[in-house]
Amino acid sequence: MAKYNRKHGLRSHPLYRVWVNIKSRCYNPRVPCYRWYGAKGISICDDWKNSPAVFIGWALSAGWHPGLEIDRKKGNENYSPNNCRCVTHAVNMQNCLPSKNHERRFKRRANGLPIGVTPHRRGFVAKIGISGRTVYLGFFASPELAAQAYLCARPS
């Protein structure tokens, strides 16, 4: 067994990857989405930061199951049990829409759609080119939601 598995035995749990990604967004400046999390002062409560078991226990007790995501209720506050909930991807993306007080990050092409977004009969599709290949990021109800997915997938 690998050394890192002996510590807590949670590496294979699906929420362990969620926990790692949250920590990366908040504390690793080399991660593309860091500029919208850690660079803006978003952090993780000490209990969650120091223990994947505590985070996973909270998520399961809050109703998490595969297909749900961890969402911060107040986007300008930290990751903590008081500010997080388990929601679908569509609900999670609603927090990402720019408001009057929020900077607009979507560069637009001549056709008016954000870069990385194309119209589709199901709404809008977000896609990005990585290493010469097109990676489809999903279908979205609005061009802003698709643009947010593109921005999070894009290397900074």
pLDDT for res 44: 97
* Side-chain-facing half-sphere of 109: CA atoms under 13 Å: 10
> Which stretches in the chain have pLDDT values below 50?
1-2, 4-5, 97-104, 156
Pairing of strands 84-87, 117-120: unpaired
CATH fold group of domain 97-156: GCC-box Binding Domain (3.30.730)
Structure tokens at 44: 């993780």
- Whole-number Å distance between alpha carbons of 56 and 13: 9
| Block residue for tokens 């954000």 | 114
Element of type H or E holding 57: helix 52-61
Provide the phi-psi class of 44: left if phi over 0, else alpha when psi is between -120 and 50, else beta.
beta
Contact 97, 113 (CB under 8 A): no
pLDDT for res 52: 94
pLDDT for res 45: 96
Instruction: Give domain limits for the chain.
Output: 1-95, 97-156
- What is the SS3 assignment for 28? coil
CA distance to 18, 58, 66, 74, 152, per residue, from 63 (Å): 15, 9, 10, 19, 25
Other CB atoms within a 10 A radius of the CB of residue 19 amount to 23
pLDDT for res 101: 40
CA-based nearest residue to 65, from 87, 95, 93, 47 = 87
pLDDT for res 73: 87
